[in-house]
């Protein structure tokens, strides 16, 4: 440590310069026009080793002649300060990365530069970090792109480039989805707007034309400012998971169909028994010329032919592996349609069929045919339950409600009700309490359709009091399915239109 | 003169009752019917039929429950039972497994729907006559 001089101002300045020279957190060296290091601070010595009597290129880079494109030479020539990013060797012979600030030392402004001062700082750690980040960005097993406010991709990682091609400079919607315009409900646009992280499931088209399903996360990039300049889009490819999911659903469907076939065989045997019975009784009637037997046999034949039709229709509806075809529909209108269809039939059985509609219910994406089937099944069951009860009159009510983002259809009756045993079995294949009248597939088909909509069906019932079935659809799920379906359809069109 | 034979048909399917009933009437039986296991047991207790034709898959109580109750009832245990079911008799029907009690003897016969009328008639008559002869022998010995 230099001692503080007490006598002169010049001495004080000299002391300050020396202290600064030593204590500044840089490696400082002063170099003359012949590249000799004429002075250096202890930081420099510690970093680059002995320097006295050596040329700068020898000390910095262990070279025997000046560096090609030497910045110091330029500063000697034009007197301008410079900043450069350099690589050399430290005193242990290890590779060194440092940033050098070069400044001319002149006695007067514009005078000849006899010396320059070089202040350098080690950036090995920063470089390593940069390399690690670069490696992480490139190699991470997901797609990463950085886009600007014009939706132009300014960076893309290796995985993304491999799957979507050379994309820098192109619009993200064009690259991800082969669209000409910005995607509706663009998550990046939302992030640009609110600065928040958004997640969504998307479907895109890879460079080879194959579909890619991915979960996308968009987040603002950089410091929090009033306006976000860039958004980073990170996606995980779930195409394989989606494929597996489809396979599992298909396997479950096939297994359900397989189990159903056994039940179906049972129903068919009952029908065959009815048909053979009809023929047998008609035969007996013909032999004995018994009109009553003939009529009885004919009725049996007719009834069992009708049963065959119902069974085939219900079974096909159950076995279909189709996804719901969603349309924006008014749930209350659907209910009114069912009331119109069943009002007379219900009245014929002494049942008052009525609706109790929630006016707050608004139009949502539903498969109208599917929901129609569900309500038809529930209402016809409810009418049958009333008919089977001891009371001569009955009431069936279909109501709707929209609470906490859940749309519900509720079908309640004051019919026979069910005991706990029956309640346990109502959703099992071919279970029926209607004897030969039912196929045992109605509620199962209803549950299947409800599940396909991402909803659920529940039942509350008490023997002798009545039954209430509730179908609930979370609206967020319906909207998500609708978006997915629309996006799939758009992609299908684009894939078809691709040359 | 021998007593008129009676049969009880228990099935939730009215057409099956009508069909089997017509066949049994043709064989000279008086036919009683029940649409559920519960009713079947009541009628069996009341009329003590010579044979019972029983379905398995019925809502509420299954035919097997009724069968187990029949065999556990001293008065009714001797009545022969023919099971008529949509369940395939040979491959799928494991009686012991279904009743879950090895002490319960198997029924006298199984018939798969739809029945073959002539085989059914022969079997019913054979079972009833055989039982009658057996009882007569027992009486003779005693």
Q: Which residues of A touch B26 (CB under 8 A)?
A: 284
Contact call for residues A12 and A5 (beta carbons, < 8 A): yes
CB contact under 8 A, B117 and A432: no
Q: What is the pLDDT of residue A440?
A: 61
Residue with tokens 């207790």: B45
- When CB atoms are compared, the residue of B15, B23, B88 closest to A300 is B15
**Is pLDDT of A356 > 80?**
yes
To probe the interface with B, which of A263, A270, A424 has the most B CB atoms within 10 Å? Answer: A270
- When CB atoms are compared, the residue of B18, B60, B87 closest to A266 is B87
> pLDDT tens for residues A437-473?
555 667 877 888 888 888 998 988 888 888 999 999 9
Distances (CA, A) of A225 to A222, A228, A449: 8, 6, 48
Q: What is the pLDDT of residue A263?
A: 67
Poorest-confidence range of A36-40, A183-187, A205-209, A264-268?
A264-268
- Which three-class secondary structure state does DSSP give residue B107? coil
Q: Which chain A residue's Cα is nearest to B16?
A: A274
Q: Which chain A residue's Cα is nearest to B11?
A: A435
- How many domains is chain B partitioned into structurally? 1
Q: Which chain B residue's Cα is nearest to A433?
A: B59
Q: What is the pLDDT of residue A444?
A: 78
d(CA A192, CA A195): 6
d(CA B47, CA A459): 40
| Best CA proximity match to A90, nearest among A51, A48, A119 | A48
Most confident option among A118-122, A248-252, A495-499: A118-122
Q: What is the pLDDT of residue A497?
A: 62
CB contact under 8 A, A277 and B113: no
Pairing of strands B81-85, B109-112: parallel
To probe the interface with A, which of B114, B115, B120 has the most A CB atoms within 10 Å? Answer: B114
Q: Which chain A residue's Cα is nearest to B115?
A: A273
> pLDDT tens for residues A99-145?
999 999 887 777 788 999 999 998 888 888 888 888 998 988 899 99
- When CB atoms are compared, the residue of A281, A432, A433 closest to B19 is A281
- When CB atoms are compared, the residue of A269, A422, A436 closest to B15 is A436
Q: What is the pLDDT of residue A4?
A: 55
Q: The tokens of A373 are what?
A: 């089937």
With vertex at residue A74, the alpha carbon angle to CA A73 and CA A75, rounded to the nearest 5 degrees, is 90
Complex prediction ipTM: 0.81
Q: What is the pLDDT of residue A217?
A: 94
Boundaries of domain holding B16: 6-141
CB < 8 Å from A in window 58-117 of B: 59-60, 86-88, 92, 112-115, 117
In this structure, is residue B105 part of a structural domain? yes
- When CB atoms are compared, the residue of A269, A421, A422 closest to B113 is A269
In this structure, is residue B65 part of a structural domain? yes
Q: How far is A234 from chain B (nearest CA, A)?
A: 55
More confident residue, B139 or A245: A245
| Best CA proximity match to B23, nearest among B128, B138, B125 | B125
**Does B119 touch chain A if contact means CB atoms closer than 8 Å?**
no
Q: How far is A281 from chain B (nearest CA, A)?
A: 7
To probe the interface with B, which of A262, A266, A272, A273 has the most B CB atoms within 10 Å? Answer: A273
| Best CA proximity match to A393, nearest among A352, A364, A356, A365 | A352
Average pLDDT of every residue of chain A: 85
Q: Which chain B residue's Cα is nearest to A268?
A: B86
In this structure, the number of other CB atoms found within 10 A of the CB of residue A222 comes to 11
d(CA B2, CA A307): 42
| Best CA proximity match to A217, nearest among A179, A188, A239 | A188
CB contact under 8 A, A422 and B113: no
**Does B22 touch chain A if contact means CB atoms closer than 8 Å?**
yes
DSSP secondary structure of A106-123: -SSTT----EEEEEEEE-
Q: Average pLDDT in the A169-180 region?
A: 91
More confident residue, A228 or A389: A228
pTM: 0.47
Q: Strand (E) positions, B18-120?
A: 30-34, 51-54, 81-85, 109-112
Q: What is the pLDDT of residue A242?
A: 83
Helix (H) or strand (E) holding A45: helix A42-48
More confident residue, A313 or A244: A244
Q: Which residues of B touch A278 (CB under 8 A)?
A: 15, 19
Q: What is the pLDDT of residue A279?
A: 94
Q: What is the pLDDT of residue B1?
A: 41
Q: What is the pLDDT of residue B64?
A: 85
CATH classification at residue B45: 3.40.50.2300
Q: Which residues of B touch A275 (CB under 8 A)?
A: 114
A291, exposed or middle or buried, with CB in 10 Å at 0-12, 13-18, 19+?
exposed
CB contact under 8 A, B15 and A284: no
**Is pLDDT of A161 > 90?**
yes
Bridge-partner residues for A95, per DSSP? A89
> pLDDT tens for residues B62-83?
788 899 899 999 999 999 999 9
Q: Average pLDDT in the B27-36 region?
A: 94
Poorest-confidence range of A245-259, A474-488, B94-108?
B94-108
DSSP state of A318: H
Contact call for residues B34 and A435 (beta carbons, < 8 A): no
To probe the interface with B, which of A269, A277, A381 has the most B CB atoms within 10 Å? Answer: A277
> pLDDT tens for residues A208-223?
888 888 999 999 987 6
- When CB atoms are compared, the residue of A280, A432, A436 closest to B14 is A436
In this structure, is residue B1 part of a structural domain? no
More confident residue, B136 or A437: B136
Contact call for residues A490 and A399 (beta carbons, < 8 A): no
């Amino acid at each position: 440590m230099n001692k503080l001089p007490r006598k002169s101002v010049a001495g004080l300045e000299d002391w300050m310069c020396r202290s600064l020279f030593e204590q500044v957190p840089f490696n400082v060296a002063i170099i003359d026009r012949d590249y000799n290091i004429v002075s250096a601070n202890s930081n420099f010595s510690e970093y680059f080793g002995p320097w006295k009597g050596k040329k700068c290129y020898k000390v910095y880079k262990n070279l025997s002649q000046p560096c090609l494109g030497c910045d110091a030479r330029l500063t000697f020539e034009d007197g301008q300060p410079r900043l450069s990013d350099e690589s050399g060797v430290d005193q242990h012979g290890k590779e060194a990365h440092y940033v050098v600030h070069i400044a001319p030392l002149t006695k007067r402004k514009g005078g000849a530069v006899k010396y320059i001062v070089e202040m350098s700082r080690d950036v090995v750690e920063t470089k390593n970090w940069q390399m690690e980040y670069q490696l992480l960005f490139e190699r991470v097993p997901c797609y990463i792109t950085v886009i600007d406010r014009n939706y132009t991709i300014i960076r893309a990682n290796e995985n993304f480039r491999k799957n979507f091609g050379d994309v820098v400079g192109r619009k993200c919607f064009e690259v991800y989805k082969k669209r000409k315009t910005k995607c509706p409900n663009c998550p990046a646009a939302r992030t640009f707007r609110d600065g928040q992280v958004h997640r969504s499931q998307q479907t895109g088209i890879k460079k080879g034309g194959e579909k890619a399903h991915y979960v996308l996360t968009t987040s603002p990039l950089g410091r929090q400012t009033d306006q976000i300049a860039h958004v980073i889009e990170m996606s995980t490819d779930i195409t394989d998971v989606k494929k597996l999911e489809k396979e599992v659903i298909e396997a479950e469907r096939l297994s359900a169909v397989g189990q159903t076939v056994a039940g179906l065989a049972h129903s068919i045997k009952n029908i065959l028994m009815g048909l053979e019975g009809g023929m047998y009784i008609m035969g007996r009637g013909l032999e004995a010329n018994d009109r009553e037997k003939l009529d009885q046999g004919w009725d049996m034949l007719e009834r069992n032919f009708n049963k065959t039709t119902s069974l085939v229709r219900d079974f096909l509806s159950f076995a279909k592996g189709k996804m719901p075809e969603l349309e924006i529909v008014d749930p209350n209108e659907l209910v009114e349609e069912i009331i119109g269809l069943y009002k007379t039939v219900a009245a014929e059985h002494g049942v008052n069929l009525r609706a109790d509609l929630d006016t707050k219910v608004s139009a949502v994406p539903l498969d109208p045919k599917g929901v129609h089937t569900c309500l038809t099944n529930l209402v016809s069951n409810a009418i049958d339950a009333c008919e089977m009860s001891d009371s001569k009159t009955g009431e069936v009510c279909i109501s709707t409600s929209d609470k906490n983002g859940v749309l519900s259809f509720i079908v309640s009756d004051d019919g026979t009700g069910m005991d706990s045993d029956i309640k346990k079995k109502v959703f099992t294949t071919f279970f029926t309490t209607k004897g030969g009248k039912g196929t045992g597939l109605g509620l199962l088909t209803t549950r299947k359709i409800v599940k396909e909509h991402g909803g659920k069906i529940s039942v509350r019932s008490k023997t002798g009091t009545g039954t209430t079935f509730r179908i609930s659809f979370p609206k967020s799920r319906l909207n998500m399915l609708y978006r997915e379906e629309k996006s799939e359809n758009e992609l299908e069109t684009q894939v078809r239109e691709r040359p | 003169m021998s007593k008129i034979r009676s049969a009880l048909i228990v099935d939730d399917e009215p057409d099956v009752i009508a069909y089997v009933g017509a066949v049994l009437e043709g064989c000279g039986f008086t036919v009683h019917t029940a649409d559920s296991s519960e009713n079947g047991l009541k009628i069996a207790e009341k009329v003590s039929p010579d044979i019972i034709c029983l379905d398995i898959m019925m809502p509420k109580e299954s035919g097997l429950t009724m069968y187990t109750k029949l065999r556990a009832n001293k008065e009714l245990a001797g009545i022969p039972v023919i099971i008529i079911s949509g369940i395939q008799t040979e491959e799928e029907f494991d009686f012991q497994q279904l009743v879950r009690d090895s002490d319960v003897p198997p029924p006298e016969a199984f018939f798969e729907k739809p029945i073959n009328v002539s085989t059914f008639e022969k079997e019913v008559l054979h079972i009833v006559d055989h039982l009658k002869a057996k009882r007569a022998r027992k009486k003779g010995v005693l």
